[in-house]
Structure formats: structure tokens, C-alpha cells
Structure 1
Amino acid sequence: MAPNKTVLCAGCTKKITNKEFLACCLCNAVYDIECVNYTYKMFSHMTKEKKDNWQCPACKSKQRKVDNTNTPVQGCRMSAKQNSPEKASDENNITIRKPATSNPSLQSPTSPCLSLPNDEVLLATIRSEIQRSVAESVESMVQMYFMKEFNEIKKELTAVRELQNCVEYLSAEYDRMKSELQTSQEKISSLGKVNSSLSDKLNDLTNRLNLIEQHSRETNIEISGIPENKSENLVSVFQQLCNTVSISVLDTDVLASTRIRKLKEDTERPRSVIIKLQNTKKRDEILAAVSDTIGKNQNDKLNTSNLGYGGQKLPIYVIFVRKDDQASAKLIKCYDSLSNL
């Protein structure tokens, strides 16, 4: 039967929380089946009537012992005697045990017959206490073990999370740098195309500028080798040179005359003279006359004596550029023109 309220086991004093228990029909004390040495199988095979009439070990130990007239063997013998004609005479052969004595010594707790159930209860209690202590110890040790393991796992998880955060940060930085690198490469490629276009335009403008400068100087004649003099008149010197090559030049044919800076300051050669003429026609006549004169006088080319300078004869050049003495003279317009020599 089930208790109407929370009760404690009379053997182990623990709270009864399941249905595997027995209640004494005499004292109403409730026991766990473990405390009265009942297994679950034994308990499940008990009938309801047996459970209702169950007596606890304490109540059993208090019952008085009676004679053996009600034993199965004696009962059969008495039944046979009653049906026999000699019933009255045989009744004296029945052994009747004396009632249980009220001697206190027989009811002493030290009596083996009376103390056996209490010993069982004590053993059950001790066994229950040992099981409880072992269970608590095992539970405590298991909790401590798993707590330690959980702490270690927590530390490892913390390290893993930190590592994960680092990896995520590095991954984000890598993606950012990769994106920036791709953008930079695209910009470099675009700038390369722009630079190439600007370089082409610069070369074109440079060539055009060279042509413009050449065009502005196309009436110039450069004369190298004329000795320098502080009181010199370059126009008169130029006219003397033209007279030498049989070309008449008026003062009005010359727009300007000047000396240019040396390319090498430490050279002893005099600075070159630039003569700017009115037009290219006159320039071409003078250059043709100079070339013709040089061709006719291979052994006596233009020199300082032709211009009236005394002393050592120094060569004078009306400049066009040639690769060597046998090559034709070329007009130099830009650096690329040097490859045509």
C-alpha cells in the first residue's frame, strides 16, 4: 500500500520515494525492501494478501512461542485420533508444550533467538549507510573529476576562441589586403596605360617642339674655329668668310650674330659663332659655296688665314654633321637623327 504522506523508512530512516516498500500490519512501520532483505523479484511475487499481513522483524520478535499442536503433522494425527474409537485413550499420548515462560532472562536482548531480527535490521542499516557513504564519496569524486575536466575544457575552449578570433582577424585583414592589392593592381595597370599614352604624346610634342625649334633655327649657320677677340665684328668676319667662298653677303642679309657657350668649359677651342640670315635660300647658297670650295681645295680647306687671322692656320667649319670624311653631311634635328649618320 502507498503512504498517504511522506514517511521515513523505520530501518534506514531515509525518505521513501518509490513503491517498493512494506508496511507492518501490527505497528504500521514502513520499511524499504532493502532494509528487510527483500529483493525486487521477491517483492514483485508477493500477493496483496501477503503484503497486507506482513509483519516487521521487530513485531515478529515480540510474539510468544506456542505449542506444536497446530503443526501439520500433529494436526493430521489429531484428526485421525478423533475418528478412532480409542480417541479418549490416545489423547494422553499427545505432547503439549508448556506456555512460554515469563522469565526475564529468556527475553533478554542477548538471547540469540530474540536478537536475530534486530541484528538483521542493524546489518541492513549498516549496509545502507555504507552504500550511502560510498555513493556520496563516489558522487563527490566523480563531481570533482568532471569539474576538473570541465575546467580544463573551459581553458582549452577559451584558447580555441582566442585562436578563432585571431584567425578571423587575420582572415579579415587578408581579405582587406587582397582587395586593396587588387585595387592597386588595377590602378597601376590604368596608370601604366595613361603613362604610355602620355609618353607617346610627350614624344610627339618633343618632336614637334624640335621641329619648331629647328624651323626657328633653319636660317642659322654655325661656324666653328673662328678665334675670339674682344673687339671682333662677327658680321664682318662672316662677310670675309663668304667672300672667300665667292658669295656676296650684305649687312641686311644678316639678322643676328653671336657666340654660343662651350659644351666643355676646359677646352681651348674658341666658342662657335651663330649667324642668323634672312632666309633659308641665302643659307643654302652659302653652304653650297662652302662645300664646293672645300671640294675644290682638299689641300687648303677653310682656315683662319682666309679670314685675315695671322699665326698658325686653324681649320674653320661651317657645320653640318658627317659620320666620317667620306660620308655625306646630315642635318641634325634631334637625337634620333644621330642614328642616320
Structure 2
Amino acid sequence: MNELSKTKPNKMKFECCNRQQNSNEYIICSHCSKKYHYACVATTTTQFKELTSDLKVNWLCPECNRPRAGLDNSNTPIRAVATHANDKQDSLNVTVRNKHKVSKTSDTDLDALTPADVRQIIREELHIIFNAFQSKIETQLGNKISEISSQLTQVTESITFMEKEYEEVRRDMQQKIEVINQLESVNKNLRSYIQDMDSRLSQMERNSRASNIEIQGVPEHRNENLVTAVKQLAHTIKYNLTESDIHLCTRVSKIQKNSNRPRSIIVKFSCPRVRDGFLAAAIAYNKRNSNDKLNTSHIGMGGEHKPMYVTDHLSPSMKALHAAARVKAKELKYKYVWVKGGHVYMRKSDTSDYKFIKNMDTLNSLN
């Protein structure tokens, strides 16, 4: 029995390629016992380590495998035809011929291989290689197509899920938009209602203060008599005021608790006509006595003369508007800012028209 030699090769040369026997991958002919390099005589893609023992024992070299005239070649090993591309039991160096050409031919026809036989062998080998390659490609493509199909299915499911989520979000957003529009409408109505109520409240505050004046800058004393002070002030400005014209006279709390200024005196007269006359007399006195305007000496107080101011009794919101108007007047160089009937007015020059300052929006629109 011939076996694959695994011992140290000698220095002889292979019969096939005339190379020194320096490779362990060689095969021995079972007829002539000559050594052949497997890489030279291999006719398939089968690796050397995949060869079976039976194939190694019965292998014939190309010279011994060639048919000879007059000899019985029925015992010559014939390579099995591969049934598929991965069949690893392929024979080596065996020619499979067309049965019509091989069976029952004369001895003279077997004298040598014809070009047609060579072409047939090449076609069969190429057919085997092509089938193996095609099968491998089909398998790989099938796996890839299955993988891509699975991924496309997942993508389709994800898109479907996202479309459902988008529709839900869109419906939810549409509902919220409708609610927002309703709230905006309600808010607009409420703002209009609040502005109307604010206007009414301001009017009520002005009406409640229609008979009042406010005297600022009068120092406070423990035993002070405010009615007497107001009567003395009326005498100074030469306004005929009786005690029955004074319904109420009191001090009010400070808006700014940490202010050092004394609390203002609120005087409620019997009617708006008395209030208007008293204010007009105070303004006329200051115009006549520009060097000696109303001060604490005019109501009988000794010591340092401190200025006094007689104005309309304004609500807190109107006081804030009046203060903002004075600041705006300095900024825009308006010459006059005054209060009359609980309203704030401004005039830029002696010849220009006056501006009725209704609220902060009106004040901010000035230029």
C-alpha cells in the first residue's frame, strides 16, 4: 500500500516539474511508484489535506493513466463525477469521456486523446467549477437578500409605528391649538373687561376725590390743629373759606414707608366748587409771589421756612402717571405738566396744543 510520505524528503526531483523533492505535499503513483508534486498534477480545487486514503493508494500518474492500444484498461481508476460544488471526493487526473465515445470503441480509437476529448474534459471541469461558484453565489445572495428583507420589514414596521405616533401627535396638537385659540379669545375679552373695569374704577376714584385737595410739606406736631392750619392757609391766599366748608381734614399714610417727608394732609371740602376755588387761589398766590411762595410760615409755624404744595388729591395710579409724565417732559423738553380734575396734561410750548395723558401707553407714544 502506498502512503503519503511524511519523512524527510530526499534530494531527488519530482517527475512532474523537475524540482527537488523539498515539499511534503506529493503523491505516489500506484503503478510506477514515481513521486509527483500535488500542486502540479491536481485537476480540482480539493486541498491536499482533504484527499482520502483510498484515493492516494489507487492514484495513477498521467503517464500510467493514459490508455494504450492492445491493453485492457478496464482496471484503470476513473474519477467519480462530482454531484455538487462542495463534493470533496473528486478524483485526480482522471478523464471522464462521453459514453458514446468511450464504450465499445475499437483499440485504435484509444491510441491517444483527441482535441475533442480535451475540449470535452475542459468543458466538464469548467461546468463543475461554474456550478460550484453559482451555488456559492446563490447561497450568499440568498442570505443577504433574507437579511435585507428582514431589515426592510423592520424599517417598514418602524415607519408604520412612527406614522401612527405622528397622527396621534398631530391630533393632539390640533386639539391644543383649538384650546389655545379659545383661551386667547377668552383672554382678549377678559383684558377688554379689565380695562373697562379699570376705567370705571379710575372714574370712581376721581369722583370720590372731586372735593379733595392734598397739602404736602407741612411738618407734623403732636397737638397740631389741621382745620386751623387750613383756615390760616385760606386767609393767606385770600380765599373766603368757612369752617362749614371743611368736611374732613386728616393726614394719610405714606406710600413709601422709609421716606423722611411728612405725611400729606387731605382736606375734603363741601363740594367740588369750593375745591376748585381754593386751588385757583393757591395757584394765583404763587404766581403773584414768585419769591415768597407758600411755605410753613404762612400757616403760623416758626423756625425754618419749608415749602408747601397744594394739589389735587390723586389716586396712587394717577400719582405714578403724573410722576412718569414729569420725567418724560424733561426727556422730550415739554414745558408744562399739570393736573386738573384728576387728569394729567402736558404742553410742549406756549403755542402748542396740550396733550391729555390718559395712561402709560399714551405717555409712551409721545415724541
Which residue of 1 is the match for residue 252 of structure 2? 260
How many angstroms apart in 2 are the aligned matches of 1:288 and 1:241?
13
Which is further off, 325-334 or 261-270? 325-334
Which residue of 1 is the match for residue 358 of structure 2? 336
Q: Deviations over 1:9-46 (max 9, x none)?
A: xxxxxxxxxxxxxxxxxxxxxxxxxx9969xxxxxxxx
Larger Rg: 1 or 2?
1
Shift of residue 223, structure 1, vs aligned partner: 0.5
Amino acid corresponding to residue 269 of structure 2 in structure 1: L
Q: 1:154 to 1:36 in 2, by over 3 A?
A: closer
Which residue of 2 is the match for residue 241 of structure 1? 233
Q: Give 1:292's match in structure 2, choosing from 278, 284, 292.
A: 284
How many angstroms apart in 2 are the aligned matches of 1:233 and 1:279?
22
Q: 1:229 to 1:146 in 2, by over 3 A?
A: same
Which has the larger helix fraction? 1
Shift of residue 250, structure 1, vs aligned partner: 3.7
Unaligned runs of 5+ in 1: 1-34, 39-56, 58-111, 114-134
Q: 1:316 to 1:337 in 2, by over 3 A?
A: farther
Q: CA RMSD in A?
A: 4.4
Q: Deviations over 1:205-249 (max 9, x none)?
A: 211111111111111110011111122222222222122222343
Q: Secondary structure at the match of 1:310?
A: coil
1:160-171 to 2 correspondence within 5 Å?
A: 160-171=152-163
How many angstroms apart in 1 are the aligned matches of 2:214 and 2:99?
140
Q: Give 1:223's match in structure 2, choosing from 211, 215, 219.
A: 215
Q: Secondary structure at the match of 2:190?
A: helix
How many angstroms apart in 1 are the aligned matches of 2:283 and 2:247?
23
Which residue of 2 is the match for residue 211 of structure 1? 203
Contact 1:210 1:333 in 2 (8 A): no
How many angstroms apart in 1 are the aligned matches of 2:245 and 2:174?
66
Q: 1:253 to 1:267 in 2, by over 3 A?
A: same
Q: 1:139 to 1:329 in 2, by over 3 A?
A: closer
Q: Secondary structure at the match of 1:319?
A: strand
Instruction: Using structure 1 for the length normalisation, give the TM-score.
Output: 0.53
Instruction: Using structure 2 for the length normalisation, give the TM-score.
Output: 0.49
Q: Give 2:308's match in structure 1, choosing from 316, 329, 335.
A: 316
Amino acid corresponding to residue 329 of structure 1 in structure 2: W
How many angstroms apart in 1 are the aligned matches of 2:288 and 2:141?
115
Q: Which has the higher contact order (CA 8 A, sep 6+)?
A: 1
Amino acid corresponding to residue 180 of structure 2 in structure 1: I
How many angstroms apart in 1 are the aligned matches of 2:246 and 2:231?
10
Unaligned runs of 5+ in 2: 1-97, 107-126, 313-321, 345-356
Q: Give 1:303's match in structure 2, choosing from 282, 290, 295.
A: 295
Aligned residues: 228
1:125-140 to 2 correspondence within 5 Å?
A: none
Which residue of 2 is the match for residue 180 of structure 1? 172
How many angstroms apart in 1 are the aligned matches of 2:294 and 2:246?
21
Which residue of 1 is the match for residue 55 of structure 2? none
Shift of residue 146, structure 1, vs aligned partner: 4.3
Residue 327 (1) aligns with residue 336 (2): yes
Q: 1:139 to 1:304 in 2, by over 3 A?
A: same
Amino acid corresponding to residue 170 of structure 2 in structure 1: K
Q: Deviations over 1:110-168 (max 9, x none)?
A: xx99xxxxxxxxxxxxxxxxxxxxx9999999777645543432222111111111112
Which residue of 2 is the match for residue 152 of structure 1? 144
How many angstroms apart in 1 are the aligned matches of 2:359 and 2:196?
15
Amino acid corresponding to residue 283 of structure 2 in structure 1: S
Contact 1:221 1:275 in 2 (8 A): yes
Which residue of 2 is the match for residue 198 of structure 1? 190
